[in-house]
Structure 1
Amino acid sequence: MGRTTSAETKQGDSFTIGPTAIDALKKWPEMRQRNDEITFNPKICYCKITGERITEPMELTELMPKDSGMKRVYRHSRPKFHKMLLEQLNKVGLSVEYGKEVADYFEDVGSNRAGVVLKDGSKHEADLIVAADGVRGASWSLIAGRPVSAKSSGDAIFRVAYPIAIALKDPVIAERFPLLEDGRPLAELWVGTDEEMSFAIQHPDTGTAEESWGHRVHPDEVLKYTATVEGWPEVANRVIKATPPDLLVDWKLMWRDPQPTWTSPGGRVVQLGDAGHTFLPSSGNGATQAIEDAVSLAACISMARSNEDIPDATRVHNLLRFERVSFLQAFGIKNRAKHSSGTNSGGDAKRNVVHFGKWMVEHDPEEYALRNYQQALECLRSGLPFKNSNTPPGVEYRPWTIDGLLEAQEKGEPTVLDGDWD
């Protein structure tokens, strides 16, 4: 919980982007500069559920490996980041159409084409279709022949961001969430920036939450929950009460098992981001991996010599990305446990601070794809195994499921999370 100073209010709160995604902007200097301009740069500290601090304020770079060159972690307003991407598309002459909801995907191997069917029945075709339509995308029927089932984690998150000026009208809030001496905001997990007041409160799902940005609830619903939390501070309730009633989302936390195949049978439709691999908000990696996906896919497509080679490119991209992403999905589950045991109960705070290993933050998805493309393609064609090197060093990948991982953790048995992840 914390404060983030603009009067603009749009859908979405904020998210974190790691160095591997930001480094991908190096070829677009204007966009990289714009990214630096719109980012929040808070310090961070961990608190008990009562708001009492259990760590001193620290730089986000302290979550990085000590010898990683102090790579930055960026905190972004979702609407502002989307606007930056749209500005870049306009600069290169590409437009985005809205209100065109995709109902289905198809491909025609004989004609080397694929396409989408919209809700209005119209069809659009191309050499390649990128399904980047989120957690409930319609591409799984083509990719896997069936929808991918989702299982409730038992929890949900009340989440919102709104203009700081609304919150600061309450003097108690203004006193509790001041800027630091150097003028920077402090994210308290309890999370914040310098332009918005935002909060995210994980709570047991009573069956009414939905996995949708459109599922709005009244702040009174949050107050019903906080009334059950022993020691919950009044200032936090004041932040909740100040929330505009049309912004607050109750987001259902859903488990999905890793899906190793992101391409259609003919390779002409490929999933990207949440459409292929969903992350829990606690992972701190969903946005980063979506951008890594985009960079990797573009690099692989650049290696295709003709339209006929596109299916090879999408399958190589899938091979180069799946194990890395699957490891990081499991890492999100580990982080969720850390948040629960460390910040809520006030346990060993230092032990429960989330840190990112070098393999996570020093990866270059473009260079990796270009360097490994030919070998990966040969392995796909020959059926020989390909060994990825963009995963935790020395840790052998093992297929896993949510239920299997949680059960093994509870029993103290080996899991994919074992080994040196730092």
Structure 2
Amino acid sequence: MTHPWSAPVATGPVRATVSVPGSKSITNRALLLAALSERPAAVHGVPASRDTELMLNALRALGVPVEADANGLVRTGKHEGFRGPAEIDCGLAGTVMRFVPPAAALADGEIRFDGDPRARERPIETVLNALRALGVQLDGDALPFTLHGTGATPGGTVTIDASASSQFVSGLLLSGARYDKGVTVHHDGKPVPSLPHIEMTVSMLREAGVEVDDAEPNTWRVAPGPVAPRDWAVEPDLSNATPFLAAAAVTGGAVTVPGWPSETTQAGDLIREVLARMGCEVTLSADGLTVTGPARLSGVDIDLHDAGELTPTVAALAALAGSPSVLRGIAHLRGHETDRLAALRTELNGLGGDVTETEGGLAIRPAPLHGGDWHAYADHRMATAGAIIGLVVPGVRVDDIGTTAKTIPDFPGLWNGMLSP
């Protein structure tokens, strides 16, 4: 049973330097590519988060030698290919439930997948149907399901609708080079959300020596061939850094996140533009990214289609701004860890906010907020949004702050450390 967490109130402008753990998105791609190489490889800067642990355990279940130390170094060893029988717990990690099945299609044996109750409701049928079209035998259309591996996968060309998640594309591309014919993925549907995540996948595949052709819009071709082993270095998780930057924004303080890359494929980098448009001073230097908050935040009208993961942070900022905001292009968030649009509307309005859902997002108008219970819905980003509100609204109680361990080890410790003099 979880206990409510009383969100600490900032006693003045927050001034701090906060080092955030490595990117979960980069980490789980790097771990899978290391395993697909079948030779020794290393990943540096791995966060000790639940999503990462679920990926490590999935690889171990498939027969990959994995060693992880307390300093964020993971080494994968030589092996003769994936094997079953195996049981894989996806938890609530989209990168596990959508990236590992295409890799497990290369295994010899039966592989059973399951996850948290909410994971059974998250979209995955697109990936499973794509695998069937590529010659893989599967039982089921959602978690739990069973994959019957034969040790190889024909591959080829498949057309999918990836408008619910870019992970449908990334999952197929990451393992596609190991398929007999490689893989070509065509998207047919509404625009794919979070395209920077697919760009991240393509970039990392190329770093691993895989030939990828993405010249044609909505089409990605991965040539068959080996995946080269290499040492991967994981960048700080920019999306997980946003609550700490938001602390500076809502208190008129200044927060620096060291190691912020000057160039990146992480969608979270969009927070720089968002904060600048809301009135913050945003500076990227050799020391990292520094955000200095204004006397009062301005509302923003912005399309977050390519960076939907920022929505809970931006919604919290918008609820504390002095003018209205409209967040667009995020209808796909209704299928994330929870229905994030409904959750944000419910929780912000429960504290006195004025939020309405639109077909594609949220409309947020200024309103005086008060304390009360904030429900996280087992969603790490909902929990951190409650923490942001609690910085300037006394009496906010987050029902499950522990869910932040999905991607941020010891979020409460980092948060309290930021507020310490």
- Report TM bin, short chain: under 0.3
Q: Given the two structures, how large is their TM-score scaled by the length of structure 1?
A: 0.24
Q: Given the two structures, how large is their TM-score scaled by the length of structure 2?
A: 0.24
Instruction: Please identify which structure carries the higher strand content.
Output: 2
